[in-house]
Amino acid sequence: MRILVTAGPTREAIDAVRFLSNKSTGRMGYALAEAAVAAGHDVVLVSGPVALTPPDGLLEFVPVVSAADMADAVKRRAPDCGMVIMCAAVADYTPAHPVDRKMKKSDGNLTLELKRTEDILKTLGQNKPAGQILIGFAAETDDLEQYARSKLAAKNLDWIAANDVSRPDRGFAAGTNAVALFAADGRRFDIPLQSKDAVARRMLGILLPPSGR
Ligand code: C5P
């Protein structure tokens, strides 16, 4: 099966030398891509800026910087994929008026105007080809199941992988993770705290239909 995985943060330019970003290291997405290659799949990895080396054996590696770049790269490739795992921590907002030189400071405060980015996953859900398995992530600090299930429905997903990012041992920038997987048909699987590599293998075992394993 052809599987598209997104990973890492995005960077949203404020000016020529400054950006807005987040704490994602890309480790969970890279672990998912590596596990999918090891299971014999054709894997496309679309990655924001991270300090990791892409796994060997990818069908395609697509480095991107901003949320808009990621949207372009993903929307172009997703229609040909049997599974899309949207693991990247995509910025929700981007500076409305990025400056192409380095901004000078002045004595007063500065107000930045931010505009919404495209919700890539929502767009994919609205245009999902028959048979494609679409998976999102939900990083939450409270009411994990409630928020995860409402995202699953709102974005027309088949699965959502939820993690509690209020705890230092899971989610953003941790080497380990614990994930609750919620299916559109109501099933729930809990993958206990372990390395992101081990979580990735367990996740794929659950997400892939028997014919695709
Ligand atoms: O709604 P929320 O941002 O919490 O949903 C997280 C999920 O949506 C993740 O799978 C993330 O990759 C995806 N997302 C996206 N485009 C955005 C923001 C989030 O695809 N602009």
CA of 9 to the centre of ligand 1 (A): 11
Ligand 1 atom closest to Cα of residue 88: 12
**Cα-based angle 179, 183, 187 (whole degrees, multiple of 5):** 90
Low-confidence ranges of the chain (pLDDT < 70): 213
Give the helix ranges, DSSP H, for 53-211: 67-77, 120-126, 144-154, 196-207
On whether the CB atoms of residues 182 and 188 are closer than 8 A, the answer is yes
Answer whether 152 contacts ligand 1 (Cβ < 6 A).
no
Token duo for residue 48: 């924001």
Cα-to-centroid distance, 90 and ligand 1 (Å): 6
Which pLDDT value is given to residue 123?
98
177 is catalytic: no
**Is there an atom of ligand 1 within 6 Å of 92 CB?**
yes
| Residue 67 beta carbon below 6 angstroms from any ligand 1 atom | yes
Give the nearest ligand 1 atom to 124 CA: 20
Report the top-level CATH class of 2-95+115-208.
Answer: alpha beta
Where is 7: in which H helix or E strand? Answer: strand 2-7
**pLDDT tens-digit profile of 111-145?**
999 999 999 999 999 999 999 999 999 988 888 89
Nearest atom, ligand 1, residue 118 CA? 21
As to burial, measured by CB atoms within 10 angstroms (0-12 exposed, 13-18 middle, 19+ buried), residue 142 is exposed
In this structure, what token pair is assigned to residue 37? 């290659």
Domain ranges of the chain: 2-95+115-208
Q: Residue 139, exposed/middle/buried by CB under 10 A (0-12, 13-18, 19+)?
A: buried
Question: What pLDDT is recorded for position 166?
Answer: 83
Instruction: Provide the whole-model pTM.
Output: 0.96
